[in-house]
Amino acid sequence: MKICYLDAFSGISGDMTVGALIDAGADGAAISRILDGLGTGATFRIEKTTRQGIAASKFYVDGGAAKNHRHLRDILDLIAKSGLPARVKQNAAAVFQRLGEAEAKVHGVPLDKVHFHEVGAVDSICDIVGACAAFHLLGVESIHSSPLNVGSGTIKTEHGVLPVPAPATAELLAGRPIYARGPCVELTTPTGAAIAATLAADFGPLPPMRITATGYGAGDKDFPEHANVLRVLIGESSGAEEATTVAVLEANIDDSSPQVLGYAMERLLEAGALDVTLEPVLMKKNRPGTLVRVIAKPEHRETLAQLIFAETTTLGLRIYSAERRVKARHIAEVETTHGKVRIKIAEDGSFAPEYEDCRRIARETGVPLKQILAEASLAHLKNTR
C-alpha cells in the first residue's frame, strides 16, 4: 500500500500541501490541467524556493473569478459538475463538507447558510482540489499525519481579529494532537486543517514504511527559527498491521494487596489493554511496592485510566506515548490429535501456537500443556514442508 505521511512541524495549509506533493513527484502540469476543469479562470504557478536552506516548492493560484460569498452547495456543485476523476471529486467534496460543518458550528448557523468568505475564494478551492488531485496522481492509498503545529497569537479575518488557532481550525482539529511552537503567527490554516482532519487515517509518529520520495511545500514566510515547510514522505507500507503509537499508563502502589492487583490486571486485559505488568519496586521510605504498567491503544487510554483508579488505591498516574514496532503476522490453523490449534505466523516465518487454544485443550483432555504446544508446533512444521 502506498502511503503519505504529512510532517507538519511548521503547520499545514492548502498551498503547502500541493507544493509538497508536487515536490515529491506529482505532475504539476497534470494538476494544472485538472484544476482548469473547474472553470474558475485561475492560472497556476509552481516555483522553487528555499526556507532556511531547505529547497521547497511554492504553489500559487493567480486570478480567477472573484466572488465575495459562496455557500457549501455552490462549491459542491462546482466540484460535481467538473471533469475531475471520481476519487478526487469524492475527497474534495468530503474536505469541503467537513470545513462547512466546522464553520456552521463556530458561527451558530445552519450548514446551508454558511458564507465561505476566504474559504470560498478561488485559491482555497484550487488548493483543496489540487491537494486531492496530487494524492490521486501519486497513487496514495492511505494518508497519515504528525501532530500539527498550529502556531499562536492572533490573526486578522473578515470576522475581525481572532485567536490562533482560528475557531474553525480548532473545531476541525478537536480530538487530534496539536501544539504551538515557533513564531506567534498562524501556522495551520482552516484549509490545511480540513485536509488533514478529513483525509488522514491517524495522527502520530511516522508509520512503518519504505520511503520512496520526499517533498517540501513552502509556506508564505521564511522564519529564522525553523524551515517554514510542510514535509511529505511517500512510500510503501512495510506490512505491520498494528498501530505503532501506544499509550503507557504507570502507577507506583505500596498499599494494595496482591489479590487486588491481580484482579485489576484481569479487568484491564478484559477492557482492551495490550499488556499489563506488575513489577516489584522499592519506593520512598524503603517501602516495598508494585509498579503497575499498562500498554494500551491510544483510543483506550481514558477508559483504562479510569479503571486503574477504580480498581487500585493509586491517587495518580503517569501517562505518556511510546512508539511500538510489530511484525506483520497472520493466523493459520493446524489439526492435532487432540483438536484444532491456531498458529500465529510472523512475516519472517517465526511462529507460536496460540496459548489459549492449547490451554483449553490441555484442560479438557488432561494432556500436559507442554505436550499440546509441542504437537501444535510439529503439525505446523509438517504443513510448511
Residue type present at position 157: T
User: How many domains does the chain contain in total?
Assistant: 3
Per DSSP, the three-state class of 105 is helix
User: Domain check: are 170 and 283 in the same one?
Assistant: no
Spatial CB neighbours of 373, under 8 Å, sequence gap ≥ 6: 353, 358
User: Domain check: are 36 and 118 in the same one?
Assistant: yes
Find out whether 278 and 260 touch, Cβ atoms under 8 Å: no
Spatial CB neighbours of 267, under 8 Å, sequence gap ≥ 6: 307, 311
Distance CA(241)–CA(295), nearest Å, equals 17
Overall pTM > 0.85: no
Find out whether 37 and 83 touch, Cβ atoms under 8 Å: yes
> How far, in Å, are 15, 123, 271, 275, 277 from residue 267 at the CA level?
48, 53, 6, 12, 13
Distance CA(178)–CA(164), nearest Å, equals 12
User: Domain check: are 228 and 252 in the same one?
Assistant: no
User: Domain check: are 167 and 83 in the same one?
Assistant: yes
Name the residue among 199, 219, 207 with its Cα closest to residue 9.
219
User: Domain check: are 298 and 275 in the same one?
Assistant: yes
Within 13 Å of residue 40, how many CA atoms lie on the same side as its CB? 30
Please identify, among 212, 237, 262, the residue that sits at the C-terminal boundary of a domain: 237
Radius of gyration of the chain (CA): 26
User: Domain check: are 69 and 157 in the same one?
Assistant: yes
Name the residue among 373, 250, 221 with its Cα closest to residue 312.
250
Residue type present at position 51: R
> How far, in Å, are 90, 214, 335 from residue 210 at the CA level?
28, 11, 37
User: Domain check: are 82 and 226 in the same one?
Assistant: yes
> Which residue has cell 494538476?
31
Please identify, among 185, 203, 237, the residue that sits at the C-terminal boundary of a domain: 237
Distance CA(229)–CA(8), nearest Å, equals 8
User: Domain check: are 250 and 380 in the same one?
Assistant: no
Beta bridge partners of 204: none
Q: Which domain holds residue 290?
A: 245-323
Distance CA(249)–CA(318), nearest Å, equals 6
CB-based burial, 184-194: b 16+ in 10 Å, e otherwise: ebbbbbbbbbb
User: Domain check: are 153 and 291 in the same one?
Assistant: no
User: Domain check: are 46 and 129 in the same one?
Assistant: yes
Name the residue among 202, 187, 164, 191 with its Cα closest to residue 103.
191
In 119-189, which residue ranges form alpha helices assigned H by DSSP?
122-138, 167-172
Find out whether 200 and 144 touch, Cβ atoms under 8 Å: yes
Q: What count of other Cβ atoms lies within 10 Å of the Cβ of residue 358?
A: 25
User: Domain check: are 56 and 170 in the same one?
Assistant: yes
We report the CATH number of the domain holding residue 379 as 3.10.20.300
User: Domain check: are 231 and 263 in the same one?
Assistant: no
Distance CA(60)–CA(341), nearest Å, equals 60
* pLDDT tens-place values along the chain, 385 residues long: 899 999 999 999 999 999 999 999 999 999 999 998 888 888 999 999 999 999 999 999 987 655 556 778 888 888 998 888 999 999 999 999 999 899 888 878 888 777 665 445 788 899 999 999 999 999 999 999 999 999 999 888 777 788 989 899 999 999 889 999 988 999 999 999 999 999 998 888 888 788 999 999 999 999 998 999 999 999 998 755 555 678 999 999 999 999 999 999 999 999 999 999 999 999 988 999 999 999 998 888 889 999 999 999 999 999 998 888 777 778 999 999 999 999 999 878 899 999 999 999 999 999 999 999 999 999 999 988 7
Within 13 Å of residue 102, how many CA atoms lie on the same side as its CB? 25
Q: Does the CA dihedral 95-96-101-105 come out positive or negative? A: positive
We report the CATH number of the domain holding residue 305 as 3.30.70.1380
Residue type present at position 80: A
User: Tell me, what's the pLDDT at 119?
Assistant: 45
Per DSSP, the three-state class of 135 is helix
Pairing verdict, β 2-7 and 229-237: antiparallel
Please identify, among 218, 237, 256, the residue that sits at the C-terminal boundary of a domain: 237
